[in-house]
Amino acid sequence: MAGSGRVGYAVVGLGHFAEHVVLPGFRDSRKARVVALVSGDGAKARRLAKKFGAGETYAYENYAQCLANPQVEAVYIATNNSTHAPFALPAAAAGKHVLCEKPMATSVAECREMLDACRAHNVRLMIAYRKYFEPGSVEMRKIVQSGKLGRLKIIHSTFSIYLRPGGERPLWHFDRSLAGGGALPDVGVYCVNTARWVTGKDPVEASAYEWTVAPDAFKEVDENIAFRLNFPDGLIMQGTSSWGAATDSFLRIVGEKGWAMLDPAFQYNEHRRLYGRINGRWFEKKYKVLNELALELDHFADCVRRNRQPEPNGVEGLRDVVVMEAIYQSARQGRPVSISYPE
């Protein structure tokens, strides 16, 4: 296995996001390169390999051959949610580092398997939350962590897109066994994870309400879900995720001394605006679109080369799945649910 220069990645899964966001990220990367593609569609894999300069392509059933390739040092798993663990476990066993799309898996049990495997084989595990590298989100976190807002009291956050079966979204998104859920693990997880990351706090209780106006389309997964997360020290988050509204996202945090708002907060292809009022003084900053995936790929590559734990690592991915499981449980049972995190 190579130990210097750019880290060689295999991208596993060539859906819309991989083709249009992940693979272009390698073009702007300084520390990572794509060397192999793994897909169930051989023709598509060969076409994208030629376009993005990957030297090898493999079918899913030949994944073991991909992992035996010495040029592959890390895998970027971009398959459907239910297969994240099945692709991560053999990668770890083969000594390959794992960068996995969110959500980490469809259950806490699978997340723990992934963590255990990567620890046992001494490989890095990172979950692909690109917000950790986007300058507007980083600045929001700095403001919150500095204490300028005072004691935190309220978080409001939403991420919505309009989505129906068909079009560019494959049907697995609407199959609970494959996706683990609908709007919540697809877009709502951004609200959950970013709030946890920015504040440095973990919620201890969840309340939620789920609804749909298109029951024929959303028989198995959530179209809309609103949730309240109670954090320690009196901090309350109100979050909403939806596949039934126009594309929109924001993150607003209110403390005793002021507030800050990132809008839009989570899309990867829009200019951002961070603004607010602290101690009576207004502020505003604007951020141009940049390639967040390139920053993410470079961070993980740097962690591989320097033998460092990435941020966000698998523990953060697991904790988000714990929170989402509590949200779903509350929506089903119609009552608040306490959140407890595994060791």
Cα distances from 322 to residues 99, 189, 203, 265, 325, in angstroms, run 20, 11, 10, 23, 5
pLDDT tens for each residue of 41-59: 999 999 999 999 999 999 9
pLDDT tens for each residue of 264-307: 999 999 999 999 999 999 999 999 999 999 999 999 999 999 99
What is the CB neighbour count within 10 angstroms for residue 164?
A: 14
* Sign of the alpha-carbon torsion through 181, 183, 188, 190: positive
Average confidence (pLDDT) over 75-97: 98
- In this structure, the strands spanning 125-127 and 97-100 are parallel
Asked if the model's pLDDT at residue 1 lies above 50, the reply is: no
When pLDDT is cut at 50, 70 and 90, the band that residue 2 belongs to is very low
Q: What tokens were used for 327?
A: 């949200």
- What is the pLDDT, as a whole number, of residue 129? 97
Q: How many Å is the Cα radius of gyration of the chain?
A: 20
Average confidence (pLDDT) over 69-86: 98
Q: How many residues does the chain have?
A: 343
Asked if the model's pLDDT at residue 170 lies above 90, the reply is: no
Asked if the model's pLDDT at residue 3 lies above 80, the reply is: no
314 Cβ neighbours under 8 A, 6+ residues apart: 104, 111, 114, 115, 118, 125, 126, 127
What is the CB neighbour count within 10 angstroms for residue 190?
A: 25
Q: What tokens were used for 120?
A: 């046992």
Q: What tokens were used for 287?
A: 């951020």
When pLDDT is cut at 50, 70 and 90, the band that residue 147 belongs to is very high
Q: State the residue for tokens 């920015």.
A: 198
Question: How many Cα neighbours within 13 Å face the side chain of 185?
Answer: 30
Nearest to 340 by CA among 237, 197, 226, 202: 202
Alpha carbon 170 to its chain's center: 19
When pLDDT is cut at 50, 70 and 90, the band that residue 166 belongs to is confident
Asked if the model's pLDDT at residue 71 lies above 80, the reply is: yes
pLDDT tens for each residue of 178-231: 999 999 999 999 999 999 999 999 999 999 999 999 999 999 999 999 999 999
Annotated catalytic residue 153: no
Annotated catalytic residue 102: yes
**What DSSP string runs through 38-68?**
EES-HHHHHHHHHHHT-SEEEEGGGHHHHHT
- What is the pLDDT, as a whole number, of residue 173? 93
Strand, coil or helix: 30: coil
333 Cβ neighbours under 8 A, 6+ residues apart: none
What's the CA gap between 100 and 66, in Å, rounded?
A: 17
Please say whether the beta carbons of 202 and 255 come within 8 A.
no
Angle between helices 189-199 and 135-146 (to 10 degrees): 40
Mean pLDDT taken over the chain = 96
- What is the pLDDT, as a whole number, of residue 278? 98
**What DSSP string runs through 244-271?**
EEEEEEEEEEEESSEEEEEES-S-SSS-
pLDDT tens for each residue of 270-279: 999 999 999 9
Asked if the model's pLDDT at residue 309 lies above 60, the reply is: yes
Nearest to 52 by CA among 78, 74, 77, 21: 21
**What angle is formed at CA 21 by the lines to CA 106 and CA 127, rounded to 5 degrees?**
35
Average confidence (pLDDT) over 96-104: 98
- What stretch of H or E contains 27? helix 23-27
Walk me through the domains of the chain, giving residue ranges and CATH numbers.
7-130+294-311 (3.40.50.720), 131-289+322-338 (3.30.360.10)
Q: What tokens were used for 155?
A: 């978080």
Q: pTM for this structure?
A: 0.96
pLDDT tens for each residue of 227-260: 999 998 999 999 999 999 999 999 999 999 999 9
Average confidence (pLDDT) over 99-118: 98
Annotated catalytic residue within 63, 76, 190, 328: 190
Annotated catalytic residue within 9, 76, 96, 102: 102
